[in-house]
Amino acid sequence: ERSEITYFGAGPAGLPTDVLETASEALINYKNTGLGLAEHSHRSELATNIINEAKADLASYLDIDESKYEILFMQAGGTGEFSAVVYNLVGAWVARKIAGLGDLKGEDLYAALREHIDGPKGKLVLDYIVTGSWSLKAYQEAVRLVGPEHVNLVVDAREHNNGKFGVIPDQKHWKLSDDAALVYYCANETVDGVEFPEFPTVLRKSHEKDGVHFPIVVADMSSNILSRREPVDEHSIIFFGAQKNLGTPGVAVAIVKKAFLPPTCSQPAPTIMRKVGLPVPPIMFQYQEMAKNNSLYNTLSVFDVFVAGQVLKKLLKTYPNKVDGQQAVAEKKAQLIYGALEAHPEVYKIVPDKTARSRMNICFRVTKNGDVDASEKAFLAAATKQGLTGLKGHRSVGGIRASNYNSISLEGAEKLAGFIGEFAKA
């Protein structure tokens, strides 16, 4: 029975049952049209309404200023955005250089640009802050697309924690570049259970030119979006896959500063990018094209947008003070679970450092009897018997991971905390 299970899987995550009930009706017969939402045209008025309402509700819930930011529904998941941010912000960087070069054309322009991209007049650099498996993947994708000579590893958290992820290194160790096309961080590392406790002070807006503010900060918020207030204004791009706190797998959201879109900024022509040896974005990843078409450049899964929209409507209804309300609950749930683990240090070892613990993905080892493997197997088996499922850690790191996303109720977190205590004593 669905009602007997509390599912702590890391993604896809559980969704509220009433949202899924509404969605299942919509899948069969949307608003008495005799057709389901996955059958209706993505070009229909009803599809456009669903997209626009979801955008407006997201903006309202997170306080996104829609005059400054464009909300886009993208495809290819969070991983697709690893590539998309590189393509788009490298393009924007080149566009800024072109604007500074006056009226040069053709070979003269390409030659002048190359001097800025690979010296002697400058260098294209992308900055990556690596604090876990997902920012590492994003960093590797940037290296794959533009080459290692253009990617700067600002900091690798493993070098500050005995070769393992689990800390956010002190900002004094970060090596930021001067004119980076982007500075990338992952707000919550789903596999490693590491979350930035707050927006890093060294990344705060330092100056602004033509609507672009520097540094140009990109954040992956796939696994903690909608769970706390974020300073959206400090970011140029925030992206996230839907399948944790927002909805069903199938769409990702990119919140993009309009200064990177026409008329303020246009992606350089593909010819220019080819001539200077930089990648041309696949059309599906080009934000300006997606923005121009209100995310409907091609067939979008409007059904997935609908589910996300229903989750947002429920959040807005539950919390009159919007994300602040959900944030208070998220913190309380995390404290309950961490508290239960800390009460039995002889049985449980929390993986990340206390200063960087994620409220969303609670990673720990069960060290009872010294035999970790056997203890964790016993823990998982006993938990499953009580309807607490999805607790197995990511295959790359092992251990236990309780994903404490928004759909986990306070009662669900209490149940897990209670079980953690009982198992330790048994």
Separation of alpha carbons 208 and 201, rounded Å: 17
| Shortest separation between residue 190's beta carbon and ligand PMP, angstroms | 3
List, as own/partner pairs, every contact residues 112-115 make where C-beta atoms lie below 8 angstroms and the sequence separation is at least 24, other chains included: 113/272, 113/276, 114/276, 114/277
Does residue 69 contact residue 257 with C-beta atoms inside 8 Å? Answer: yes
Residues in contact with ligand PMP, total (CB under 6 A)?
A: 11
Residue 186 sits in the site that holds ligand PMP (CB under 6 A):
yes
Residue 184 sits in the site that holds ligand PMP (CB under 6 A):
no
Q: Which stretch binds ligand PMP (CB under 6 A): 74-82, 176-184, 378-386, 401-409?
A: 74-82
Residue 403 sits in the site that holds ligand PMP (CB under 6 A):
no
Neighbours of 276 (CB within 10 A): 20
| Shortest separation between residue 364's beta carbon and ligand PMP, angstroms | 18
Residue 375 sits in the site that holds ligand PMP (CB under 6 A):
no
What is the DSSP-derived secondary structure letter of residue 227? S
Closest CA to 412 of 6, 2, 1: 6
Q: Which stretch binds ligand PMP (CB under 6 A): 77-85, 170-178, 321-329, 396-404?
A: 77-85
Between residue 229 and residue 288, which ones bind ligand PMP under the rule CB under 6 A? Answer: 241
Residue 352 sits in the site that holds ligand PMP (CB under 6 A):
no
| Shortest separation between residue 133's beta carbon and ligand PMP, angstroms | 8
Separation of alpha carbons 115 and 413, rounded Å: 56
Binding mask 125-144 for ligand PMP (x = CB under 6 A): ---------x----------
Separation of alpha carbons 255 and 315, rounded Å: 19
Residue 222 sits in the site that holds ligand PMP (CB under 6 A):
yes
Separation of alpha carbons 276 and 114, rounded Å: 6
Q: What are phi and psi of 377, to 5 degrees?
A: -60, -45
Residue 393 sits in the site that holds ligand PMP (CB under 6 A):
no
Separation of alpha carbons 332 and 88, rounded Å: 38
Residue 302 sits in the site that holds ligand PMP (CB under 6 A):
no
| Shortest separation between residue 122's beta carbon and ligand PMP, angstroms | 31
| Contacts with ligand PMP, residue ranges (CB under 6 A) | 11, 77-79, 134, 186, 190, 220, 222-223, 241
